[in-house]
Amino acid sequence: MNHKTAIVVGAGIVGLATARALSLAGYKVTVIEKSEKPVGASIRNFGMVWPIGQPEGLLFNRAMRSRQVWKDISDSTGMWYSESGSMHLAYHADEWQVLQELAALFQQEGRQVFLLSSSTIAARFPHVQQKGLLGGLFSNTELIVDPREAIVTTAAYLENFLDVQFLYKTQVANVETGAVYIGDQKILADLVWVCSGQDFETLFPTVFSNLPITRCKLQMMRFKSSDEVMKIGTSVCGGLSLIHYKSFTKATGLQKLEERYKAEMQAYIKYGIHVMVAQNGNGELTVGDSHEYGHSFEPFDSAHINELIFSYLKQMMDCSSWKLIQSWNGIYPKMQNGATEICLSPATDVFILNGLGGAGMTLSFGLAEEMVKQYA
């Protein structure tokens, strides 16, 4: 069958990436989004494109492909981005041991990582907290966009360069083979891709309930320094991030490190907190985050969680001049069985692409290309 038209439900990063891949594969694409502008998890994040967190092989390659697509879109539109790299810091001997192990392992894989001494970090990144610093692991591959700008700009890019049509403020009521329904209106298409994040439960409740899937609520903050020219120079992570990413699990010292965290930092483990900071083109500093899992959450930010995050931030950054300007939370679906995504076909020529957890900015473009090539 020669498919020519496709509908994508959802204009978050997964939906935009899927629309791009379908258009490049020769489809006339319409994206249907219930909101009038991006308001979901795709704008409520760091904007980090984070290959270092992905294991070698398929996922790392997918992340690097997504990184290239972000650069291509940014270069085509003039959108700000920064090839800032990332710095993981060690303030304890066990953290430094893990970073040294990871440096050796990653270098064997051909990754662009380097161990830096505390004195080198002080010279290159003076806003990193120097007290107690043992050293850090720097990686060249991480890229930053501002998600609030990037999602809007990417949609405009798809409209202007790839002739993708967008229907905003439009709620899809039902999906079937060959069509979606907007109220009583039936819109025909050869393919339908549902990329609506946690909202896909409303269209496919039985599919959702039968999956090993949950929701994750995160809390984040944004700061502005009184020193308007202050630049942190890279995206910075504390030791807690070492127990968060799959690519780090190969370090033999990680288990003992995690055991210490569980014994000494119970609140941080309870709320899934690991502290990172990224700076956008306006000099604003995005800080987070926490991870709480469940089906439903209180809609309010927890001051206690924000205080825990900021307390840890002070141990790794000189943030005395930073003023809090925003606090928010976001919710995304996450697989509970270790899967990095789901791609299901609940009906002929209908596909659900979902469950990327917190890695949507890092993996979506590469994943969408793979899935469209496989199924479209």
Asked if 326 and 225 sit in the same domain, the reply is yes
Asked if 255 and 161 sit in the same domain, the reply is no
> 3-class DSSP state for residue 167?
strand
> 3-class DSSP state for residue 268?
helix
> 3-class DSSP state for residue 79?
coil
* Cβ neighbours around 208 below 10 Å, total: 17
One DSSP character per residue, 187-216 reads EE-SEEEE--GGGHHHH-HHHHHTSSEEEE
52 within a domain of the structure (yes/no): no
pLDDT < 50 positions in the chain: 1
Contact by Cβ (8 Å): 122, 230: no
CA distances (Å), origin 132, targets 41, 95, 236, 276: 35, 12, 16, 18
- CATH number, domain at 195? 3.50.50.60
Residue among 353, 220, 342 at smallest CA distance from 292: 220
∠ CA(22), CA(49), CA(361), 5° rounding?
45
The count of structural domains within the chain is: 2
Asked if 219 and 288 sit in the same domain, the reply is yes
Asked if 227 and 269 sit in the same domain, the reply is yes
> 3-class DSSP state for residue 90?
strand
Contact by Cβ (8 Å): 363, 341: yes
**pLDDT tens-digit map of 179-205:** 999 988 999 999 999 999 878 889 999
Going 60 to 66 to 70 to 75, the CA torsion angle's sign is positive
**Alpha carbon distance 293, 296 (integer Å):** 9
- CATH number, domain at 233? 3.30.9.10
124 within a domain of the structure (yes/no): yes
Asked if 95 and 121 sit in the same domain, the reply is yes
81 within a domain of the structure (yes/no): no
For residue 39, the model assigns a pLDDT of: 87
Asked if 235 and 277 sit in the same domain, the reply is yes
**Alpha carbon distance 63, 367 (integer Å):** 9
Asked if 304 and 237 sit in the same domain, the reply is yes
Question: Phi and psi at residue 328, in whole multiples of 5°?
Answer: -155, 175
259 within a domain of the structure (yes/no): yes
Tokens matching residue 46: 């760091």
Tokens matching residue 251: 């370090």
326 within a domain of the structure (yes/no): yes
Residue among 204, 207, 214 at smallest CA distance from 333: 214
Asked if 263 and 310 sit in the same domain, the reply is yes
Asked if 231 and 312 sit in the same domain, the reply is yes
Tokens matching residue 318: 């000189």
CA distances (Å), origin 255, targets 32, 82, 236, 260, 348: 45, 33, 22, 9, 45
For residue 3, the model assigns a pLDDT of: 63
For residue 200, the model assigns a pLDDT of: 86
Percent helix, strand and coil across the chain, each rounded to 5? 40, 30, 35
Residues with Cβ within 8 Å of residue 73, at least 6 apart in sequence: 79, 153, 154, 157
193 within a domain of the structure (yes/no): yes
- Per-residue DSSP letter, 246: G
- Tell me the whole-structure pTM to 2 decimals: 0.95
- Expressed as residue numbers, the domain containing 117 is 86-140+213-335
**pLDDT tens-digit map of 34-91:** 999 888 888 999 999 999 999 999 999 999 999 999 999 999 999 999 999 999 999 9
Going 276 to 68 to 71 to 110, the CA torsion angle's sign is positive
Asked if 203 and 133 sit in the same domain, the reply is no
243 within a domain of the structure (yes/no): yes
For residue 268, the model assigns a pLDDT of: 98
Asked if 152 and 299 sit in the same domain, the reply is no
79 within a domain of the structure (yes/no): no
For residue 40, the model assigns a pLDDT of: 85
Asked if 219 and 98 sit in the same domain, the reply is yes
**Alpha carbon distance 293, 323 (integer Å):** 29
